[in-house]
Chain A
Amino acid sequence: MKKTLLAALIGMTVMFGFNAAGYCEVGVTDTEIHIGQWGPQTGPAAAWGAVARGTDAYFKWINANGGIHGRKLVHHFFDDAYNPAKTKAGVKQLQEQTGIFAWVSGVGTAPGLAVKEYLLERKIPWVGPSSGSRHWVDPPEKTIFNVYPLYLGDAQILTEYAITKLGKKKIAIVYQNDDYGRQGLEGAEFVMKEKGMALVASVPAAVTDTDMKPHVMKLKQSEADAVLLFVTPGGVARLIGTGKAMQFEPQWLSTTTCGDFPLMMAITKGLYKGVISASFGMGQPTGNIGELQSSDAPALDLLATYKEEVYDKYASKDERWGYTFSTGIGLSEPLVEALKRCGRDLTREKLVQELEGLKDFKGLMGRITYAPFDPEDPMCRIGQNEIYLQECMDGGQSKILTDWQETEYIPSGE
């Protein structure tokens, strides 16, 4: 008995950690292309888990329609609980044991930064990091292709619109003291400077702030008539609610992260009506499009197709058809397009080349353009730099206010 136990123990130790692999290109076989992705399914950012599930459903749909040049997309996604140590573990394990051809999306700035170097060293393409951080494009890297529009752009377009179209004179901003909020502040200041104006108030907020009275008080004292909100959806809800209670009701302007109107209406209990928000496409995935003012604004036909063919068929039944889910599709479209263009003999080098060749590619989001690698020019990897504005109407419907607007890149530290 004891000897058997011992033998079994030794046997298990020896077996642990060996497996075979051997293709000409890692992650590509005659019939399969292995794509990796991480996304929090649990933990503080679990709400963003729908991104990975959206991509998963999208890949299933592509496979059901014949795959890409005779190969199926094999999607490996894992839960990192928004913990960078786990992201790193999962990426290494999949990369070294399964062999991943390219990585797509991947939620979060901190998790992404933890694996950025690892992927770069191995020259593994990574398309569409799911956060609008400047880290992905500044400095630009040969194998990282950004898709998610930077938050800098939100701030520029919102500020511009408030001044020129709404005729607001006193603009203020509430910003989270992190990468996201800082970009908002820089973008807004950039536009104000161009116009020879200055923000009447810039109020920092911590993610953990639950009492928004001091913030609203400062805004009220500044007599701002338009306020940019660069905080989390929960923070936005608290600010608008507190503002209402304190009889301070300026024009609120929010970012793409708060562009899911039905959701925002629900968490603000209807106070979100009239708020103007930036959007990187997809209209309202719920299909609640109010007055369409510009025919080429969101890709509505494509959205309807995805709703019927991807969501209805491949999403699990308690999945919500919303902004996050469709973002998962939108972020992986450029990768799929480039894979198609690569043709049958697929290598990483060729994939990078085809991605660089994408020009005005139009999927769910704004136009996406890359250029041959230039270490001096972030624009060659920024991909999408267009957004449009929409206003929240009754019942979470949206009214499209502008056509796609091009934004400017502002290098950090300026």
Chain B
Amino acid sequence: MDMKRAYYEDVRFFSSGAVVFWFAALIIALGIYPFVFKNYYVYVANYVAINIMVVVGLNLLVGYTGQISLGHAGFFAVGAYGTIALMTQAHFPFLAALISAGFIAAILGFLLGLPALRLEGPYLAIATLGFGVTITQIIGKIDLLGGRQGLHAPDLIVLGRHLNTDREFYFLVVPITVLLVLFARNLTKTKVGRAFVAIRDAEIAAETIGVNLVMYKTLAFAISAFYAGVAGGLYAFVLRFIDPELFGLFMSIMFLTMAVVGGLGSVMGPVAGAMLLSWLDLELRNILSVPYLGQWLRQLSEQYFSLTGVSNIQFIVFGGILIFIMIFEPLGLYGFWIRTKKYWKTWPF
């Protein structure tokens, strides 16, 4: 809908003045959010922000480069363990540990990217799945990393300040998230991003026009893993205790679902997907206390299933929402956004 007259309009970071305005408004809103809402919602925001990081990173790989990963919980775990271990064993300050852990994850991502050069589609899915499952087994065997007994996070000190509350932590997590999202957006507008898209659309064509497949595919894996690693490092401090069981297959699937529901091949889509699904994931447990609806679900469960299993209803609802979104909006939330934008375009006239 936005007509572009020159190439440089397409690569511009902000496509129009309105976007700059809304971006500034968003930053201000994010700044006052923790003062307006209760502590619980700040915690939820932190949790959501961490998922956003992973999913935006995952989308660079899945949505832009066309490579699938079912092993992102593994990179997430590497980031979490790496950050804590570097802080407690090697006495790194937090930010240094976080970034280093991100790079460790990136190196593993690079290594996983190598077999990906020869694998495609379901075969790649299985290879990455194998990585995700194996890495937690390995961590569980290393006593230095607490084995199966888990690790406690040390005190969180950033630039000389103790971060104890959710609000303080918010001002660490959210800026990092904004930075990483902006970086992803910028990346998609550069040569690298274009190379990713070229690989996704037609590998052979991309190679003939001079895109180095080996370099860009492994780079996509490495960058994506870096995002997951950094997010994992922050997640360790949300929970303050981690053990290998946390980073299961289900987590990887959730990340991928968030990316797909949000809309592959865009930056804001996965942000929306991560927001919606992590919020549902946390809030659907309360569905049975919603007036009327909860009562009805209970009765339904008692009549046709079992009352002790009534909590499983939340997963049925969750699955139902996913199916609904994919049927009516195959492009995910991003597709919905584009349609909404068209609808409002002429407003207020």
Whether B245 and A97, one on each chain, are in contact in the complex, defined by CB atoms closer than 8 angstroms, is: no
Task: Report B-chain residues with C-beta under 8 Å of the C-beta of A207.
Answer: 148
Chain B 308-319: CB-based contact to A (< 8 A → 1; otherwise 0): 111110110000
Known: A179-B149, A317-B307. A110 touches B40 (CB 8 A): no
Q: A2-42 vs B: 1/0 string, CB under 8 Å?
A: 10000000000000110000000000000000000000011
Given known A92-B39, A110-B150, A114-B241, contact A85–B47 (CB-CB < 8 A): yes
A110 and B243 in contact, given A86-B282, A178-B149 (Cβ under 8 angstroms): yes
Contacting pair A42 B44 (CB below 8 A): no
> Which residues of chain B are near A177, meaning CB under 8 Å?
140-141, 147-149
A16: B residues at CB distance < 8 A: 37
A74-87 to B contact mask, C-beta < 8 Å, 1/0:
00001111011110
Shortest A46–chain B CB gap in Å is 8
Which A residues are in CB contact (< 8 Å) with B310? Answer: 41
Please count how many residues in chain B sit with their CB below 8 Å of the partner chain's CB atoms: 44
CB neighbours (8 Å) of B191 from chain A are none
A90 contacts chain B at the CB level, 8 A cutoff = yes
In whole Å, how far is A93's beta carbon from the nearest beta carbon of chain B?
A: 5
Does B238 touch A at the CB level, under 8 Å?
yes
Q: A97 to B315, alpha carbons, bound, how many Å?
A: 24
- A96 and chain B: residue at smallest CB distance: B40
Does A79 contact B311, Cβ atoms closer than 8 Å? yes
Q: Report chain A residues within 8 Å CB of B43.
A: 88-89, 92
B344 at the interface (CB under 8 A from A): yes
A178 with B239: CB separation less than 8 A = no
Q: A17-B41, A79-B285 are in contact. Are A319 and B308 (CB under 8 A)?
A: yes
* Given A2-B344, A86-B282, A176-B148, residue A49 in contact with residue B308 (CB < 8 A): yes
Task: Select A42's contact among B41, B306, B312, B347, beta carbons within 8 Å.
Answer: B312
How many Å lie between the Cα of A113 and that of B306 in the bound state?
31
A53, A88, A176 interface centre (most CB from chain B within 10 Å): A88
CA distance A110 to B244 in the complex (A): 10
B residues 291-310 with Cβ under 8 Å of A? 302, 306-310
Given known A-B contacts A42-B311, A114-B239, A89 and B39 have beta carbons under 8 A apart: no
- Residue ID in chain A nearest B313 by CB atoms: A42
Q: Which of B137, B246, B314 contacts A79 (CB 8 A)?
A: B314
Knowing A42-B312, A177-B148, A318-B307, the reply to whether A89 touches B302 (Cβ < 8 A) is no
- The yes or no answer to A182 lying at the interface (CB within 8 A) is yes
B37 A17 Cβ-Cβ under 8 A = yes
What is the CB-to-nearest-CB distance from B33 to chain A, in angstroms, rounded to a whole number? 10
Task: Encode B133-168 as 1/0 by CB contact (under 8 A) with A.
Answer: 000010011000001111010000000000010100
Complex Cα spacing A86 to B164, Å: 19
Of A78, A83, A89, A97, which one neighbours B38 at CB under 8 angstroms? Answer: A97
Q: How far is the CA of A86 from the CA of B245 in the complex (A)?
A: 14
Count of A interface residues, CB-CB < 8 Å: 42
Residue A164 is within 8 A (CB to CB) of chain B in the complex:
no
User: Is A42 a contact of B307 with CB atoms below 8 Å?
Assistant: no
Residues of A within 8 Å of B302, CB to CB, are 316
Within 8 Å of chain A (Cβ to Cβ): is B15? no
Q: Report the nearest B residue to A93, measured CB to CB.
A: B40
Determine which of B37, B44, B148 lies in contact with A178 in the assembled complex, contact meaning CB atoms within 8 Å. B148
Q: Given the complex, which residues of A lie within 8 Å of B309, measured CB to CB?
A: 41
Judge if A206 is at the interface, Cβ distance under 8 Å: yes
Residues of B within 8 A of A110 (CB): 150, 241, 243, 245-246
Closest residue of chain A to B241, judged by CB? A113
Residue ID in chain A nearest B343 by CB atoms: A2
| Bound Cα distance from A340 to B308, whole angstroms | 30
The 8 Å CB contact of B40, one of A81, A89, A316, is: A89
| B312 partner residues in chain A, CB cutoff 8 A | 41-42
> Are A89's CB and B41's CB within 8 A?
no
Residue B240 interfacial (CB < 8 Å): yes
Are A96 and B149 interface neighbours, CB within 8 A? Answer: no
Q: Does B212 contact A (CB under 8 A)?
A: no
- Per the bound structure, the CA–CA distance linking A41 and B282 in Å amounts to 14
| CB closest residue in chain A, given B152 | A113
Mark out the residues of chain B between 256 and 302 whose CB falls within 8 Å of any chain A CB in the assembled complex: 281-282, 285-286, 302
B141: chain A residues within 8 A (beta carbon): 177
A221 within 8 A of B: no
User: Contact: A89 with B47, CB < 8 Å?
Assistant: yes
A85 to B235, CA, bound (A): 9
User: In the docked arrangement, what's the CA distance between A80 and B246, Å?
Assistant: 13
* Cβ distance B34 to chain A, nearest Cβ, rounded Å: 11
Closest-CB distance, A371 to chain B (whole angstroms) = 27
Once the chains bind, are B241 and A42 in contact (CB under 8 Å)?
no
A208: Cβ under 8 A from any B Cβ: yes
A414 adjacent to chain B (CB < 8 Å): no
**Residues from chain B with Cβ under 8 Å of A206 in the complex:** 137, 140, 148
A207 to chain B, nearest CB (A): 7
Chain A residue at smallest Cβ distance from B245: A110
B residues near A96, Cβ cutoff 8 Å: 38-40
Say whether A316 contacts B286, CB under 8 Å. Answer: no
Is A117 among interface residues, defined by CB-CB distance under 8 A? yes
Given known A110-B241, A114-B241, A207-B148, contact A316–B307 (CB-CB < 8 A): yes
Alpha-carbon gap, A44 to B189, bound state (A):
43
Residue of B47, B147, B308 contacting most chain A CB atoms (<10 Å): B308
CB-nearest residue of chain B relative to A320?
Answer: B308
Are A92 and B140 within 8 A (Cβ)? Answer: no
A84 in contact with B239 given A93-B40, A178-B149 (CB within 8 Å): yes
Decide: A78 and B149 in contact? CB cutoff 8 A.
Answer: no
A86-B281, A178-B148 are known; give 15 further A-B pairs, CB within 8 A.
A2-B344, A16-B37, A41-B311, A49-B311, A79-B311, A88-B239, A89-B40, A89-B43, A92-B39, A92-B40, A177-B140, A178-B147, A182-B149, A206-B137, A316-B302
Give the 5 A-B residue pairs with the shortest CB-CB distance, closest first. A41-B311, A178-B148, A316-B307, A113-B241, A79-B311
Interface residues of B, Cβ cutoff 8 Å to A: 36-41, 43-44, 47, 137, 140-141, 147-150, 152, 164, 166, 235, 238-241, 243, 245-246, 281-282, 285-286, 302, 306-312, 314-315, 344, 347-348
